[in-house]
Amino acid sequence: MKVGMISLGCPKNQVSAEQMLYLLREAGHEIVTEEEEAEAIVVNTCAFIEDAKQEAINTILEVARHKEEGSLKLLIVTGCLAQLFKEQVLTELPEVDAVVGVGSCDEICEVLNRAEAGEKPVVIGDNSAPVSECGRLISTGPAWAYLLIAEGCDNRCSYCLIPSIRGRFRSRAPEDILAEADKLASWGYREIILVAQDLTRYGQDIPGWDLARLLTELVKIDGIDWIRLHYLYPHELNDGLIDVIANEPKIVKYLDIPLQHINADILKKMNRRDTPDEIRALLKKLRERIPGLVLRTSLITGLPGEGEAEFEELCEFLREYKIERAGVFPFSPEEGTPAARMEHVDNETARERAALIQELQAGIMDEWEASLAGSVVDAICDYYDPETGTPIGRAYFDSPGVDDMMEFVGEVSPGDIVKVEIISAEGGVLKGKVV
């Protein structure tokens, strides 16, 4: 059967999609990239906030059109929406032929066979089961790949559904991680991006291991030149880990540290373990100990307890600390979370504040990027633009899919890591001359 895949949401979802693609191919199915050609399409969904749920539903409905207009026979929904709503997906979206939760991706071939036989299976396994160790069909291009090191989350932030969706935190065995990293290197991937809901908890369930030790083993693998870290919970960023990040040249000096807010009362209500003073002290320490560090964070506007004064406190924090990269989301009161029952501003106000933060942050980023003109930095080439043939990639301080891109001037091939001189920065696109 010709099978297509659409994966929404986070890198962890992307890894699950790649595993399912591998299993489907190994079972003899043909993987296709054009929806019109597919006889079956798997929509791997996200559902951690309302906007993500709506995107998932819209995507499912859009894909369903191919049942009337194309060759599509089966539509299978997997991922977070499937895990969260289970049978509701089938009852409210009759176009769907099967539902597979996050803990059951290994069963995708069996589910496809059952759906082809006329069943409408709903397969929801244990979302706290050990992390799947099957192969992957890498879909991110020739230069970089994700490397999942843990699943689930135990932080229990009061606004977040992830623990309910993805289960308790559990680390992958270090030998499995290192074996996969070695395989990625043998396939030519120069950059690996470590992903988990919280990287900094890695090893808490494996005696003798933590993220610092894992990193010291990963840097020994020949062929891997960049190791990027997504996401680092601030409370667990201890001195030992900071030392490893600072001292290992292969670890990219780019850290994604979700802060969410800076007001003390809001942080407490959200069950965040860091105080404003601790956050400020951590950022100062990181800047001092890691030369060339670029920070990324995520922020939420309109959280319970955020009035005008608290919002201005967040704005002032950004003006003072000038974090180079930041994403911002309006608060989404998710049913089943403690925060949803707390008093908060209306959605319109939360979105207006998010837009103001985006505008403020854009100015901070523009100012910082302008200061880079003439500097020489490391950059990686991801691909050639199919229309112009221009090499496209990223500086070390940009992560794929979330940060800026770079146009290269000079000879460079996908997967190459080179020195470039920054010659311009406009509209979210840097231009770098290979030196």
Each residue's pLDDT tens digit, 88-145: 999 999 999 999 999 899 999 999 999 999 999 999 988 889 898 999 999 998 999 9
Same domain, 327 and 400: no
| pLDDT over 90 (residue 314) | yes
Closest CA to 325 of 261, 397, 432, 252: 397
Distance from C-alpha of 154 to C-alpha of 84, rounded to nearest angstrom: 18
Distance from C-alpha of 383 to C-alpha of 406, rounded to nearest angstrom: 11
Angle in degrees, CA 104, 107, 108, rounded to 5? 105
Band (426; pLDDT cuts 50, 70, 90): confident
Average pLDDT for 299-321: 98
List, in sequence order, every residue forming a beta bridge with 378; answer none if it has no partner.
Answer: 419
Same domain, 324 and 398: no
Band (234; pLDDT cuts 50, 70, 90): very high
Structural domain includes residue 365? no
| pLDDT over 90 (residue 157) | yes
Same domain, 409 and 262: no
Residue 48, pLDDT score: 87
Helices (H), 327-410: 347-371
Structural domain includes residue 356? no
Same domain, 336 and 197: yes
User: How large a percentage of the chain has pLDDT more than 70?
Assistant: 100
Same domain, 117 and 151: no
Choose one of 90, 123, 156: the last residue of a domain: 123
Residue 40 lies in domain? 2-123
Q: Count of domains in the chain? A: 3
Tokens found for residue 48 = 């951690």
Residue 86, pLDDT score: 86
Whether residue 22 contacts residue 31, with contact meaning beta carbons closer than 8 Å, is answered with no
CB-CB neighbours of 405 under 10 Å? 16
Average pLDDT for 351-369: 96
Same domain, 160 and 94: no
Average pLDDT for 224-229: 98
List, in sequence order, every residue forming a beta bridge with 79; answer none if it has no partner.
Answer: 45
User: How large a percentage of the chain has pLDDT more than 90?
Assistant: 93
Distance from C-alpha of 108 to C-alpha of 18, rounded to nearest angstrom: 12
Choose one of 123, 157, 189: the last residue of a domain: 123
Helix (H, G, I), strand (E, B) or coil at 42: strand
Structural domain includes residue 137? no
E-assigned strands of 55-143? 74-79, 98-100, 122-123
Residues 6+ apart with CB under 8 A from 183: none
Same domain, 70 and 207: no
Structural domain includes residue 133? no
Average pLDDT for 320-345: 95
Tokens found for residue 203 = 């090893």
Same domain, 306 and 407: no
| pLDDT over 90 (residue 2) | yes
Question: b vs e for 61-74, b when ≥16 Cβ sit within 10 Å of the residue's Cβ?
Answer: eebbebeeebebbb
Same domain, 150 and 108: no
Structural domain includes residue 360? no
Residue 68, pLDDT score: 86
Distance from C-alpha of 270 to C-alpha of 160, rounded to nearest angstrom: 9
Structural domain includes residue 34? yes
Structural domain includes residue 36? yes
Same domain, 166 and 302: yes
What value does the CA radius of gyration of the chain take, rounded to a whole number of Å?
A: 22
Average pLDDT for the chain? 95
Structural domain includes residue 364? no
Residue 21, pLDDT score: 97
CA 68 from centre of chain: 34
| pLDDT over 90 (residue 323) | yes
| pLDDT over 90 (residue 427) | no
Whether residue 1 contacts residue 108, with contact meaning beta carbons closer than 8 Å, is answered with no
Average pLDDT for 225-243: 95
> Whole-prediction pTM value?
0.94
CATH number of the domain where residue 252 is located: 3.80.30.20
Whether residue 247 contacts residue 239, with contact meaning beta carbons closer than 8 Å, is answered with no
Same domain, 160 and 113: no
Q: What single DSSP character describes residue 434?
A: E
Band (237; pLDDT cuts 50, 70, 90): very high
Whether residue 141 contacts residue 383, with contact meaning beta carbons closer than 8 Å, is answered with yes
Residue 229, pLDDT score: 97
